[in-house]
Amino acid sequence: MATFTYESIAYKFKNPTANGNLHLLDDGAILKIGDGSDLQITHSGSAGTIDNNTGNLEIQVNGSSVVNIKDADGDTMAGFTSNGAVELYHNNTKRLETVAAGAKASGTFEVTGASTLTGAVTAAAGLTVDNLTLVNGGNEIDVASGDLTLDVAGDIILDAGNGNIYLRDGGTQFGSLFNNSNNLVIQSGSTTAATFSGANVTFAGTLASGAITSSGDVTAFSDMNLKSDIRTIDNALNKVCDLRGVFFTKDGEAGTGVIAQEIENILPEVVKDGEYKSVAYGNIVGVLIEAIKELREEVKSLKESS
C-alpha cells in the first residue's frame, strides 16, 4: 500500500502534470495563470476569450515557422511568418500582405477616409477615386462623368518627353502642340495652323473676324512653290466696281469694311464659312492690284486718243 505524505501531495498540486486532456466542463470556467491571475482563458458558451490583464500577449515561434489563423473549414484567415510576411485573407484568398519594401494588395483596394502615403503607390490594374481612374499604372486618367479640374497654388507644367501634346475629343484628335527646336507649333486637327520662332509667329491659314494688332510685320506664306494653277485676275476693275464698302456697328463699336454675303457673290475665294462668315481682307489685294492696272490702261488710252 502506497504511503502519501503532506509534502508529496502538496508538491503534486503545486506542480501538476497531465498525460491526457484537461477538461474544464462548465461554460464560464476560467483557467487562470500567473500571480494575480493576470492571464485568463475562458469560454462563455458562445465565444472563447483570452484575457491578458498585465503586460503584452505574445505568440512566439522559432526560425521561419508560421502562425496561421484558420476557420472551422481549415480556410486560412491570416498568416504570420517569422522574419517574413504578414498575410490577410478573404474567403481563403490572400488580399493584403507585407513585403520587404512595404505592403502589397491584390484585388480592389478601397479607402473611405483620408490617407497619408509617404512612399510610391503601385497599382498595376489601375487606381480609382470616385469617378476618376488612373489606368495602366497611371499612363491614362479617365473621368467617368463631369469635368476634371486642375487647381494648383503654383504652375501647371506639361512635360512631354517626346515633345508632342495631343488634344482629343472622344478619341478624335482636334489639335496638338509640337516642339520644333524649342519653338511651339500649333496644329488644328492634323494641319499646322501657327508656327512660333521666338517672339515671331507665322500663320499658315487665314486670319479673320476681328481686329489684329501687331508691333511688327504680319506676313503670310506667298511662295510660288506653295501655289499651283496660277492665273492673272481678269475683269478686276468690274469686280471692284461690284464691291460695296460700308460703315457698320459691331459689338458696340463703329467700323468700316464689307459684307461677307455680298463679297461671296463676287469673290467667293476670300470668304470662309463657319458659325459666321468671315472675309480674308488681305486676299482682296490681288484684285485691287489688277483693277488699278486696268484703270491705268484706260486712262492711258484716253490720253492717247485726245
Comparing 212 with 40, which gets the higher pLDDT?
40
Per domain, the residue ranges of the chain are 65-105, 159-205, 212-305
Q: Which of 251, 253, 255, 252 is nearest to 281 (CA)?
A: 255
CATH number of the domain at 212-305, please? 1.10.10.10
Quick one: which of 157, 161, 205, 202 has its CA closest to 184?
202
pLDDT at 181: 87
Write out pLDDT tens, residues 75-123. Answer: 999 999 988 899 999 999 999 999 988 888 887 777 788 888 787 777 7
Residue 192, pLDDT > 80, answer yes
Identify the band that residue 206 occupies on the pLDDT scale cut at 50, 70 and 90. low
**For the residues 261-271, what does the mean pLDDT come to?**
93
Residues 97/86, Cβ–Cβ less than 8 Å? yes
Q: pLDDT, tens digit, for every residue of 218-251?
A: 676 788 888 899 999 999 999 999 999 999 998 8
How far are the Cα atoms of 1, 252, 258, 293 from residue 222, in angstroms, in the given order?
131, 35, 24, 21
Mind giving me the DSSP string for 123-183? -TT-EEETTEEEEGGGTEEEESSS------SS------TTSEEEEEETTEEEEEEEEETTE
Per-residue model confidence as pLDDT tens digits over 162-184: 889 999 998 899 999 999 888 99
Distance (Å, whole) CA 138 – CA 127 = 8
